[in-house]
Amino acid sequence: MQIYKVGGAVRDRLLGLPVTDVDWVVVGATTEEMLAQGYRPVGADFPVFLHPKTGEEYALARTERKSGRGYGGFTFHASPEVSLEEDLIRRDLTINAMAEDGQQNLTDPYHGQRDLENRVLRHVSPAFAEDPLRVLRVARFAARYAGLGFTVAPETLELMRQLSESGELQALTAERSWKEISRALMEDQPQVFIQVLRDCGALKVLMPEVDALFGVPQPEAHHPEIDSGIHTLSVLEQAARHKQPLTVRWACLLHDLGKGLTPEEEWPRHIAHEHKGLKLIKTVNERFKAPKDCQELALLVGQYHTHGHRALELKASTLLELLQSFDVYRRPQRFEEFIVACEMDARGRKGLEQRSYPQADYLRGAATVARGVAVQPLLEKGFKGPELGEALKRERLKALKAYKESR
């Protein structure tokens, strides 16, 4: 029995990055031998075990063969005869197909170390094209390592393009797709993830609503970058740069989908794009079964982001309606995420990345004023039920008018 550290732990150590998750491969062992040493089985489809003390995953060396569509369409074969090289060749990228023993002696049959040095994301073998999930994974790695200068090898991008055109991407489950998308959006440069998907034709398969934004112009006075797709990438970049949570990044990606529906004769204006985009945002949310908080914020940002930009001009009554729509009294955090999404939208414009956004503090102040209106005095006056709600609304409107006049 020989045990090797494999995959990301080896890759990140060689890159000088922190190693978080460690995967192990066991060569020359049987299931019975693993159980005899106290390892606990966890894999239903193939032999994976948890170490009796550390709880880390140890997998028996295995080969795989395509047997159906999609991510799960594989049969696995694990036995003591499977070599380390045979196990490594089934992996996605050369930089993930390296192993090291307990003395850090490197096994690198597919030149992963060379590709690390050259900053290239390259597939290990033609079997790469058998797993559609790898399109998303490679795009995610591109987003993670873009800051180090990594790019996707042209021949790998071509395989990704073939996969995108094959219909295999449609076989991915919503859960698997969302897991990759959500992880990619939380990388340092999530806009690279979207760009790579577009470069290989996967974006128009997975998110045609986002893909449709590229090539659609906007008024240059407000959008020096002009292209709606480029703007969306820039907004996403700003959200990552400012360390925003997944909810905000998802909303930033989807906020302008309505612009993809504008007839060409109306370009570069996009009248009522906020309302037109809601159906598309809902469709994308449902396609990937995004978490409820992501879905809700994306819809609210899509509908109200231009309200955010015009906050200083809004009438007190419109401001109150905006606050009510977000339920700022019970869910203040959601309104805060809306504010920062609007700020990322304002900064995601060529040459305007450092612009100030006074609307943010103005909206925060308005929310504080509205929440500060006390209910007790109205109860003491005898208001109850629907009448109490209307009285509270009147008092909040009065407070917002005073706030607006004081600014």
Residues placed in the known binding site for ATP: 8, 11, 91, 137, 140
Q: Which residue has the tokens 């000088």?
A: 16
**Antiparallel, parallel or unpaired: β 23-27 and 40-41:** unpaired
3-class secondary-structure state, position 61: coil
Phi-psi region of 243 (alpha: psi -120 to 50; beta: other; left: phi over 0): left
Q: Which residues are annotated as a binding site for CTP?
A: 8, 11, 91, 137, 140
12-23: burial string, b at 16+ Cβ within 10 Å, e else: ebbeeeeeeeeb
What's 19's DSSP letter?
Answer: P
Q: Copy the structure tokens of residue 305.
A: 């982001």
Cis peptide, bond prior to residue 41, ω within 30 of zero: no
**How far apart are the C-alpha atoms of 83 and 283, rounded to whole Å?**
46
The whole-angstrom distance between residue 235's C-alpha and the CA centroid of its chain comes to: 13
Q: Which residues are annotated as a binding site?
A: 8, 11, 21, 23, 91, 137, 140
**How far apart are the C-alpha atoms of 364 and 186, rounded to whole Å?**
26
**How far apart are the C-alpha atoms of 393 and 391, rounded to whole Å?**
5
117 CB-near residues (< 8 Å, 6+ apart) = none
- Contact between 332 and 371 under an 8 Å Cβ cutoff? The reply is yes
Helices assigned H by DSSP within 167-227: 174-185, 190-199, 203-206, 208-211
Q: Which residues are annotated as a binding site for Mg(2+)?
A: 21, 23
CA atoms within 13 A on the CB side of 238: 25
Q: Which residue has the tokens 């490197």?
A: 106
**How far apart are the C-alpha atoms of 360 and 331, rounded to whole Å?**
17
- Contact between 160 and 130 under an 8 Å Cβ cutoff? The reply is no
Could you give phi then psi for residue 152, rounded to 5 degrees?
-85, 130
